[in-house]
Amino acid sequence: MSHTNQVGRRHFLGSAGVAALATTISSSTRLAETTVRAIEKSPETKSETRVDHAYEMREHAALYQKTLPLPDQSTNGDDELYANKIAGYTKALPHDAVGEVDRQEYEALTGALKSQPANMETIRLGGVVKLANPQAGLGFGLEGADSHHLGIAPAPKFASAEQAGEMAELYWQALTRDVPFSRYDTDPLANAAVADLSRLSEFRGPRIRGQIRAETLFRGTTDGDLTGPYLSQFLWQDIPYGALSISQRIRPSVPGVDFLTSFDEWLAIQNGAIPRKTMHLDPTTRYIRSARDLTRYVHEDFSYQAFLNACLILLGLKAPFDAENPYRRSATQAGFSTFGSPHVLDLLARVANHGLKAAWYQKWYLHRRLRPEEFGGAVDGSFRKGLDHPVHADILNSAALEIIFSRSNTYLLSQAYPEGCPTHPSYPAGHAVVAGACATVLKAFFDESFEIQAPVEASADGLSLIPYKGTALTVGGELNKLAANISMGRNAAGVHWRSDANAGLRLGEAAALSVMRDERGCFSENFAGFALTKFDGSSLVV
């Protein structure tokens, strides 16, 4: 179903646009490069000429972005398909006694999104919790592609086998939150998850030679994800922070405590109530050793924290910059503000927020996909209340549900956080978009083939790090794994879907590439372009 947004222009970047963005340097940008180099080589150039050329470079970059292809952007059609709006994001709006949204208020929300920002103030919420920043999706960016010029594929349909497969994975992730990553191969629950996910008709998690195994469980699908320990080295190794060294031991939440497992608690949170329960923390600091610990990390992190840390670790390791870095070939100069540590540290922050604007446009103005906790309400309603919800049989027949019910007397998806999910739609995942953008920058700046020295993994109790002995771990593989860890950690908390993570990584990647492409014409150095490996395994220079 094609969606027409009435606020602003509809600019999206499909697969053709991504290819053009990643591999094409337009004639206007080549002109900009020529002019800036001529200016740097001409000491007698007047300042007015420099101003003129700077203006021309901005104009050329904007023209390039404007002329990129604008393919149609489609949703999965669920919003129009179900009159009760069961497939859409509705949290913080008023709901009835069985958990279905007040349709008048849902229409008020969608109407406000399609009209004027001021109309958002007329929406009636169900409680005191506010909606998270819908207007961010309308913000412009003056660097890289506009947020409305980047696109993703439609989300899986509510009634599809693919969504059922994703929900089964989430139930198992919730059940195994306290299982150490290092014990997935021997833990009975983890092995039950492998068996159950293997029987699903449309589960799209990673496999080894076509088989789901303990070593593929809850991992991402990018290069590097299946190599070595579950967690990336960048979440374990100490972080050089100026004259300080920061240990990555955290205070995790205590094992065995989950939230939104009773229907009354779940319904109150859907209506926007303040949680009555609180998260209790382990008094002992530990290295991340389980999904429970990882959910705690991605609950408290700031937007690009893990990737700032990764950058600092790489700089501390003196990991080589990419072979295309012009100063790797210089006998007399070293990079700093360009092609040095200040450059990459600055770019991380810029691409992170640039990607988030694109994500918020997709979330609020296009897909408005429901959160997994909302889907859990539909599964519970089908079983316990006899409601006619179009839930696929693959999830209704999952072996996870019997265990879920034995623990809570409901079929709700337990949450790692007292408040459940954030108050913005699910697709794509914001953490994943930032991860995709920042990992892309780091892969562009550092030599992806460089092997991580002295790799480690956490002990089962998280109290120590022990040497990892196994296949060599490379910068590129561990950055891909870090992006997957941050994304899948939100899934383990119960707040996102696997497809939210996959789409988010690729949207973030495209956002970062667009910013780097605009930067490409701004250097005086003899620079062939940013070279990196994308999440799909292909190589490019931009």
Active-site positions read: 424, 431
The span from the CA of 418 to the CA of 277, in Å, is 6
Report helix, strand or coil for 257. coil
The greatest distance separating any two alpha carbons of the chain, rounded to the nearest whole angstrom, comes to: 81
Which residue(s) pair with 532 in the sheet? 540
DSSP class of residue 363?
Answer: I
Contact 488, 266 (CB under 8 A): no
Tokens at residue 75, please? 């949703």
Structure tokens belonging to residue 219: 């991992």
Rounded Cα–Cα distance for residues 458 and 289 (Å): 6
What contacts 138, CB < 8 A, 6 or more positions away?
7, 8, 117, 361, 365
The radius of gyration of the chain from alpha carbons, rounded to an integer in Å, stands at: 24
Residue 60 burial (C-beta neighbours within 10 Å; 0-12, 13-18, 19+) = buried
CA 114 from chain centre, in angstroms, equals: 26
Give the position of tokens 């446009």. 361
Residue whose entry in the numeric block shows the structure tokens 């019910």: 405
Q: Report the C-alpha gap between 85 and 108 in whole angstroms.
A: 13
273: DSSP letter: P
Please list the alpha-helical segments (H only) found in 363-429: 372-384, 393-396, 400-408
Residue type for position 261: T
Alpha carbons 205 and 198: distance in angstroms, whole number = 10
List C-alpha distances in Å: 450 to 70, 405, 435, 534: 38, 48, 20, 17
**What is the amino acid identity at position 55?**
Y
